[in-house]
Amino acid sequence: MLELLLLAIALSMDAFAVSIGLGAKHRHHTAKIAVMAGVYFGVFQGLMPLIGYLGGRTILGFIANFASYIACVILLGLSGKMLYEAFSDDDEPDTDKLNLANQTELPLNHKTMTTLAIATSIDAMAAGFTLNLMSVNAYLSCVIIAVVTGVFSFVGVFLGKKSGTYLKSKAEIFGGLVLMGIGLKMVLV
């Protein structure tokens, strides 16, 4: 259960970082933005691992002997991506979800929030494959991931309003390190 909670927290860090950016940039109507971020990011972050879990379950029989190594590689890849994004100053729009959240010309409507939610949760689909290798109820796990992400996203908007964007990269670093630890644990223990 602790491993699942750590996975949920790590997966929520992208959404948390974007929520901080939303709060820093849009300081008016903070409660509305916080609710929107919590709902959108939570729902998508819970659905994507479910898709990964269901897809992984169908191919698990073919790769059963190597599944833990594949899951480790996936989690290490996601970890590396999160750490790269945290330390990168690259402002390419397709790799920097935070810029999308920080653009003032984008209104915070349902289309924008859906785009942000998809962008922050795509990684969770790959991580959902690893649920096949953990002794947890995958459906309950996805609900826990959704709730944890929703809470972090909600709080992130308020933190962003108070602190600006100072915490964004730190959230990405934390999430990357936790995913790295879970991935290594899958093959070492």
Output the pLDDT for position 56.
79
Q: What angle do CA 138, 18, 32 make, to 5 degrees?
A: 95
- The yes-or-no verdict on residue 65 having pLDDT over 80 is no
Mean pLDDT of all residues in 65-72:
74
pLDDT of residue 144: 95
d(CA 7, CA 50): 14
Instruction: Tell me the C-alpha distance between 84 and 79, whole Å.
Output: 8
Contact 74, 129 (CB under 8 A): yes
For residue 147, give its domain range. 2-188
For 72, the enclosing helix (H) or strand (E) is: helix 67-87
* pLDDT score for 95: 37
> 25: which 2 tokens?
């940039």
Distance CA 79, CA 73 (A): 10
Query: What per-residue confidence (pLDDT) applies to 80?
Result: 85
Q: Mean pLDDT across the stretch 100-106?
A: 48
Q: What is the pLDDT of residues 36-56, one digit of tens each?
A: 999 999 999 999 999 988 887
In contact, 50 and 137? CB cutoff 8 Å: no
| Amino acid 2: pLDDT | 83
Q: In this predicted model, what pLDDT tens digit does every residue of 122-159 receive, in sequence order? A: 888 888 887 877 788 989 999 999 999 999 999 999 99
Strand, helix or coil for residue 173: helix
Amino acid in the structure at residue 73: V
Our count of domains for the chain comes to 1
- pLDDT of 162 over the 80 cut: yes
Task: Map tokens 């709080």 to a residue.
Answer: 155
Query: How much is the pLDDT for 37?
Result: 95
**DSSP codes, 4-62:** HHHHHHHHHHHHHHHHHHHHHH--SSHHHHHHHHHHHHHHHHHHHHHHHHHHHHHHTTT
- Tell whether the model's pLDDT for residue 177 goes beyond 50: yes
Q: Which of 8, 11, 16 is nearest to 153 (CA)?
A: 16
Which tokens go with 84? 């790269």
pLDDT at 120: 84
Task: Provide the pLDDT for residue 63.
Answer: 67
Which position has the token pair 């191919």? 59
